[in-house]
């Protein structure tokens, strides 16, 4: 009922600890996280002394103006206008689904990556795409060819003539070595040679592989990717019969009414084709609602069956927490219920699930009831012609995947186009490929003595039992790699790879279209592409990637240029007809067995930031808080609150320091020790471990070290330099790549104190008030469409005069609306903002201090119905109460940047007028005027102002860091130490659009541009525009009945508003609650 959203009945917690302690958000005792307001390391007096001395010196030094040089082009490149950005179509090659992108080039260097509007993502991007830019300019990239046992040339002095010469020489030496290598391979027709890589998505690479095969007929190819989709690919193959041509599944969720996710965390950017899926989901979550339309609201319904509390789970309408071994059981139980309906004729094996069906899966809902309701919904959907899709995560075994495909087929998902089968590589990978296990066998037996590894890091992420690191050392290995990693260290030769922003190439996207990869910049460190290396193995000599690409597609001149401007060689391909191999499927289904739950089970999740570990040296991603735990710079052993209690482990605060217990998790005889982190809602007896951490051979960011003596970035004062997080790959074996049964899980007795423990931002920047996320179920919304609106008229009188220009017709008045119904909480906006606005990174110790600089933070609130919790028997023990939290918990996400208040409290307290209101409604910040009193941050009710404790640009004093300067957006000031900063609504983009319109003599089309966050958002949950323009998208959203602003009682009149969140629980599962409500009032 509408009252749901009122303060006294809705309590939000920022963390598990707060929840247990009963400390709701409103109890925030401190306005700021401790370190965020006080300097540390030196006294105030010492600070004054240093400042006085430096002022005096600065005064003396500034008498003479420094002479600055301007260097013109010798001959200007055609079409390049200095100061004007160009955009180039390219693509990010990924074996998890390539992404077409538009890359912004400013004065010859790429400065921003966004999705290509014509690609499957429709212009959106994810945090990896945004952060790839930082990888390009990573000073820790491999810059020279390194030979095992030979000391590397030092880059400490930067790009000196001597260093350049050494780089050149290393490549010349490599040319010789490679020639000897191929001659050696040629002797036996290539039978001693194997080439290991991630699955191929590039037609040119496929062509070159056949060429290699011609040159070295006996050479073998192997494929490995830690986050592979072997299970689902195998399931699809069995489903269609072994003779069917290679293909892959494509999912279109945009018209689907019921989505069932079986451990398929498709909202995490680490999931295959996540952008396409999440956009499809959001299509049916967004509703333009006037009061009259509310009754017609028809949202999709997302069911999530999972062990972890994933991003997808946090956005699901119904969530079933199940141990990983029993996730398949849920599907079989649903299938059994459907046997009399849509699944008639399918024989399921006798099945005796050990799932305790009478337990509560959620508040007031037992597993039995949930499964019953789900089955009923699927059955009724088929009758009513509504669409349902079951998404099966990679963790599920092949037989469960096949069952999911069969159910999907029976529910008509293939017939109605929600699922389709897209032809994969023209020449199937299988033709040339083998598994990494077979390769390991070959090296062990001595059959394979020469190994070429194209990218990746198998010594770090291959299944533990293979001992792949030793095998890399055993064979003569050439590793083509972006950074010098665990594999390169063991390899005989490590060759720098070109970044995709430096490469020519092509890649196949999920719809079968082939996108072009075109370079934005010449290779910074002479890296090779895998195509170029393959060409040399194929005996084609040193052919440039550009020529290899043209040869594949047979294009020249204008035809080729047309492809470049379009970004695609060929468009989407027609899906294949589906002919299920029912006989084969029947055999597979016969192997279905009820899961045997162990006391403790481990889930290995792909990390939403590190992916498989490849982004370990990317400071933007390291500092992005994980969507659910909000931990930055670490991984932890996530357990439910009940399990944490059972283990006697937890995270607490005593005597002013944080203390985190350490768990020892033993799987197949190998133990890993990680700090424990209780998260309500994880299945009991499950430990969730994120992959991709604990890299040891990695750049300075991943090692947790300062880059150089002068660099204060990342600033890790007070804690010892150590690899970020703990490597859990040693626990991960073939056959249990995504979940495993643990031998034991126990508290070690070790305690991580203070800043040694995981740094989580979840309790930072608490807003001392409630009712920030307004939410209702669809039926409640239909009953009271205006539930998000204020029931009482807020105070509007103010002592401060208004500004007449705010309402002046014709003037631009910028505003933003964030649709909480479409926001998944993924954090892409945070990274996009960081890339656009030159936001600095502070490091783990400073995140502990609360000094993170993100202009957009993603608030994640836990919510559990207090009435329900209180309605329990009095005698509940603490452990039982914890278990109740686990059952009842829900999570909400809310992005918070500067709200651009019209009556901004920050402006009124600035002593130097550094922050002022613009006539267009922007809360302007003049950095050069700011003296750093931080009064504004104190007075900001939303806690969105960030203070620069550090000067990140100081790191450029180290010569080797010079390359990183190139990542900066030249249109945004790089802030210095001692200055406050915050979201500007991308004022540089507003200015640019206005200037372009004025120069062209046209009226500004206010929807022709948008902010970086809105542009990147995978679900387009953010809308920015001119609220005075009646036709703008933002005006329409502001008129929505769900539109509300935060903290209306303060009368600050924010320009950013939110659209309330709706959930869509199944009617049969909320009935009981509705009655209770009635009884309540």
Partner 1 sequence: MSNIFPKWVDRMREVVAVATIGGFLTVVFVVNTYFSDDNLVVGYTPIQPIPFSHEFHVGQLKLDCRYCHTNVERSQHSTIPAMDVCMGCHQKIKTEIVNPEKKDEKIVNPKLAPLLNKYKSEITVPVKIKSDNNPDLQAGSKTIANPDHLGGGQVKPVEWVRVHKLPDYVYFNHAVHVKQGVSCVECHGRVDQMAEVGQQKSFSMKFCLDCHRDESKLYGTRPADKVFDLGWSFPDEAAKKQHIEQHSSKLNPPKDKDCSSCHR
Please give the residue ranges that form the binding site for partner 1 (CB under 8 A).
65, 67-76, 81-84, 916-920, 922, 924-929, 971-974, 984, 987-988, 990-991, 995, 998-999, 1001
CA 457 to chain centre: 20
Burial bucket for residue 1008 (CB in 10 Å: 0-12, 13-18, 19+): exposed
CB of 518 to partner 1, least distance (A): 22
Nearer to partner 1, 848 or 900 (CB): 900
Q: What are the φ/ψ torsions at residue 1045 (nearest 5 degrees)?
A: -110, 160
Nearer to partner 1, 41 or 809 (CB): 809
From start to end of 897-1035, where are the E strands?
Answer: 915-917, 923-925, 946-947, 980-981, 1022-1026
Distance CA 690, CA 688 (A): 7
SS3 637: strand
Structural contact between residues 421 and 248, judged by C-beta atoms closer than 8 angstroms: yes
- Residue 668, sorted as left (phi over 0), alpha (psi -120 to 50) or beta, turns out to be left
Structural contact between residues 665 and 674, judged by C-beta atoms closer than 8 angstroms: yes
Nearer to partner 1, 26 or 988 (CB): 988
CB of 80 to partner 1, least distance (A): 10
Nearer to partner 1, 306 or 907 (CB): 907
Q: What are the φ/ψ torsions at residue 193 (nearest 5 degrees)?
A: -105, 135
Nearer to partner 1, 107 or 364 (CB): 107
CB of 499 to partner 1, least distance (A): 25
**Beta-carbon-side half-sphere exposure of residue 288 (alpha carbons within 13 Å):** 8
Structural contact between residues 121 and 510, judged by C-beta atoms closer than 8 angstroms: no
Encode 78-130 in three state secondary structure. CCCCCCCEEEEEEEECCCCCCEEEEEEEECCEEEEEEECCCCCCCCCCCHHHH
Nearer to partner 1, 242 or 999 (CB): 999
Facing residues of 517 across strands? 505
Nearer to partner 1, 172 or 912 (CB): 912
The DSSP H or E segment spanning 868 is helix 866-870
Structural contact between residues 509 and 503, judged by C-beta atoms closer than 8 angstroms: no
CB of 543 to partner 1, least distance (A): 20
Q: What is the largest CA-CA distance in the chain?
A: 90
Nearer to partner 1, 173 or 994 (CB): 994
Q: Which two tokens stand for residue 265?
A: 């965390």
Cis peptide bond prior to 1065, omega within 30° of 0:
no
Nearer to partner 1, 777 or 971 (CB): 971
Distance CA 320, CA 327 (A): 9
Structural contact between residues 139 and 961, judged by C-beta atoms closer than 8 angstroms: yes
CB of 84 to partner 1, least distance (A): 5
Nearer to partner 1, 79 or 149 (CB): 79
Distance CA 395, CA 599 (A): 19
CB of 19 to partner 1, least distance (A): 41
Q: What are the φ/ψ torsions at residue 86 (nearest 5 degrees)?
A: -110, 155
CB of 66 to partner 1, least distance (A): 9
Distance CA 261, CA 316 (A): 9
SS3 498: coil
CB of 137 to partner 1, least distance (A): 20
CB of 955 to partner 1, least distance (A): 17
CB of 856 to partner 1, least distance (A): 17
CB of 1034 to partner 1, least distance (A): 19
Nearer to partner 1, 144 or 969 (CB): 969
Nearer to partner 1, 67 or 878 (CB): 67
CB of 668 to partner 1, least distance (A): 55
CB of 1054 to partner 1, least distance (A): 18
Q: How many other CB atoms are there within 10 angstroms of residue 286's CB atom?
A: 16
Nearer to partner 1, 77 or 554 (CB): 77
Q: Which residues contact 339 (CB under 8 A, 6 or more apart)?
A: 346, 348
Facing residues of 112 across strands? 104
Cis peptide bond prior to 714, omega within 30° of 0:
yes
Instruction: Name which of 859, 855, 860 is nearest 947 in CA terms.
Output: 855
- Residue 800, sorted as left (phi over 0), alpha (psi -120 to 50) or beta, turns out to be beta
Nearer to partner 1, 150 or 1005 (CB): 1005
CB of 929 to partner 1, least distance (A): 8
Distance CA 688, CA 784 (A): 40
């Amino acid at each position: 009922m509408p009252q749901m959203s009122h303060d006294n009945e809705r309590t939000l917690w920022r963390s598990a600890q707060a929840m247990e302690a009963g400390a709701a958000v409103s109890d925030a005792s401190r306005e700021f996280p401790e370190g965020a307001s006080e300097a540390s390391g030196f006294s105030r007096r010492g600070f004054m002394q240093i400042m006085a001395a430096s002022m005096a010196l600065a005064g003396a030094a500034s008498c003479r103006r420094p002479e600055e040089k301007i260097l013109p082009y010798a001959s200007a490149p055609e079409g390049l206008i200095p100061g004007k950005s160009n955009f180039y179509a390219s693509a990010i090659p990924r074996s998890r689904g390539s992404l077409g992108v538009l890359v912004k080039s400013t004065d010859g260097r790429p400065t921003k990556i966004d999705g290509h509007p014509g690609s499957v993502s429709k212009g959106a991007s994810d945090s990896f795409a945004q952060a790839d830019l930082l990888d390009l300019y990573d000073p820790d990239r491999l810059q020279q060819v390194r030979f095992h046992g030979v000391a590397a040339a030092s880059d400490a002095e930067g790009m000196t003539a001597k260093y350049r010469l050494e780089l050149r020489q290393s490549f010349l030496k490599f040319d010789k070595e490679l020639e000897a290598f191929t001659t050696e391979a040629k002797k036996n027709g290539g039978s001693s040679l194997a080439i290991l890589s991630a699955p191929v998505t590039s037609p040119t690479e496929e062509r070159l592989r056949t060429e290699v095969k011609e040159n070295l007929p006996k050479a073998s190819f192997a494929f490995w990717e830690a986050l592979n989709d072997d299970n689902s690919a195998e399931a699809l193959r069995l489903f269609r019969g072994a003779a069917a041509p290679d293909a892959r599944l494509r999912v279109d969720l945009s018209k689907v009414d019921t989505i069932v996710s079986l451990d398929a965390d498709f909202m995490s950017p680490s999931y295959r084709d996540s952008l396409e899926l999440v956009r499809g989901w959001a299509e049916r979550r967004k509703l333009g609602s006037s009061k009259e339309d509310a009754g017609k609201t028809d949202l999709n319904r997302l069911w999530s069956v999972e062990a972890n509390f994933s991003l997808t789970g946090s956005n699901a309408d119904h969530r079933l927490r199940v141990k990983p071994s029993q996730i398949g059981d849920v599907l079989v139980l649903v299938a059994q219920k459907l046997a009399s309906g849509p699944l008639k004729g399918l024989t399921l094996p006798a099945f005796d699930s050990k799932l305790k069906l009478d337990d509560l899966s959620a508040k007031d809902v037992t597993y039995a009831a949930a499964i019953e309701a789900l089955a009923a919904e699927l059955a009724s959907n088929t009758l009513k012609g509504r669409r349902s899709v079951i998404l099966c995560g990679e963790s599920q075994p092949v037989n469960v995947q096949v069952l999911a495909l069969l159910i999907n087929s029976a529910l008509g998902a293939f017939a109605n186009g929600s699922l389709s089968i897209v032809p994969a590589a023209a020449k199937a990978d299988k033709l040339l490929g083998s598994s990494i296990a077979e390769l390991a066998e070959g090296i062990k037996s001595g059959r394979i003595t020469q190994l070429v590894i194209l990218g990746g890091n198998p010594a770090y992420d291959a299944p533990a039992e293979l001992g792949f690191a030793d095998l890399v050392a055993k064979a003569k290995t050439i590793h083509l790699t972006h950074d010098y990693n665990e594999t390169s260290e063991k390899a005989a030769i490590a060759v720098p790879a070109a970044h995709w922003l430096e490469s020519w190439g092509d890649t196949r996207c999920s719809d079968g279209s082939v996108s072009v990869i075109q370079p934005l910049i010449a290779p910074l460190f002479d890296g090779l592409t895998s195509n170029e290396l393959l060409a040399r193995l194929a005996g084609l000599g040193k052919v440039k990637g550009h020529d290899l690409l043209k040869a594949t597609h047979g294009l020249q001149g204008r035809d080729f240029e047309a492809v470049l401007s379009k970004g695609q060689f060929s468009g989407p391909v027609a899906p294949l007809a589906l002919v299920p191999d029912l006989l084969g499927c029947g055999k597979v289904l016969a192997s279905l067995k009820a899961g045997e739950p162990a006391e403790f089970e481990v889930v290995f999740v792909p990390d939403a930031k590190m992916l498989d570990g490849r982004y370990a040296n990317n400071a933007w991603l390291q500092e992005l808080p994980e969507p659910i735990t909000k931990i930055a710079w670490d991984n932890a052993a996530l357990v439910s609150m009940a399990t944490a209690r059972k283990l006697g482990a937890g995270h607490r605060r005593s005597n002013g320091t944080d203390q985190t217990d350490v768990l020892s998790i033993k799987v197949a005889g190998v133990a890993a020790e990680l700090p424990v982190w209780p998260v309500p809602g994880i299945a009991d007896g499950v430990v969730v471990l994120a992959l991709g951490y604990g890299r040891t051979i990695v750049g300075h960011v991943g090692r947790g070290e300062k880059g150089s003596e002068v660099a204060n970035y990342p600033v890790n004062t007070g804690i010892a330099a150590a690899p970020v997080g703990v490597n859990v790959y040693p626990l991960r074996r073939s056959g249990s790549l995504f979940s495993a049964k643990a031998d034991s899980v126990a508290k070690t007795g070790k305690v991580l104190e203070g800043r040694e423990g995981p740094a989580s931002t979840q309790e930072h920047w608490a807003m001392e008030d409630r009712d920030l996320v307004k939410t209702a179920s669809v039926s409640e919304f239909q009953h009271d469409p205006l539930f998000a609106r204020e029931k009482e008229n807020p105070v509007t009188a103010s002592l401060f005069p208004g500004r007449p220009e705010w309402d002046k017709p014709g003037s631009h008045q910028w505003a933003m609306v964030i649709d909480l119904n479409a926001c998944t909480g993924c954090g892409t906006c945070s990274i996009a903002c960081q890339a656009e606005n030159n936001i600095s990174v502070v490091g783990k110790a400073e995140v502990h201090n609360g000094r993170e600089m993100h202009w957009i933070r993603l608030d994640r609130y836990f919510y559990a119905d207090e009435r329900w919790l209180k309605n329990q028997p009095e005698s509940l023990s603490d452990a039982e109460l914890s278990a109740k939290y686990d059952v009842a918990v829900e999570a909400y996400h809310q992005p918070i940047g500067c709200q651009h208040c019209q009556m901004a409290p920050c402006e009124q307290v600035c002593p130097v007028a550094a922050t002022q209101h613009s006539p267009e409604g922007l809360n302007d910040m003049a950095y050069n005027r700011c003296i750093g009193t931080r009064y504004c941050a104190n007075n900001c009710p939303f806690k969105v102002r960030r203070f620069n404790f550090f000067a990140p640009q100081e790191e450029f004093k180290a010569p080797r860091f010079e390359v990183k300067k190139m990542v900066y957006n030249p249109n945004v000031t790089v802030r210095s130490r001692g200055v406050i900063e915050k979201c500007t609504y991308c004022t540089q983009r507003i200015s640019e659009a206005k200037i372009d319109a004025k120069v062209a003599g046209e009226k500004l089309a206010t929807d022709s541009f948008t902010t970086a966050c809105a542009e990147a958002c995978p679900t387009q949950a953010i809308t920015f525009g001119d609220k005075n323009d009646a036709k703008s998208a933002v005006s329409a959203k502001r008129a929505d009945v769900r539109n509300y602003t935060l903290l209306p009682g303060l009368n600050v009149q924010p320009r950013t508003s939110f659209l309330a969140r709706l959930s869509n629980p199944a009617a049969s599962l909320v009935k009981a609650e509705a009655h209770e409500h009635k009884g309540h009032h």
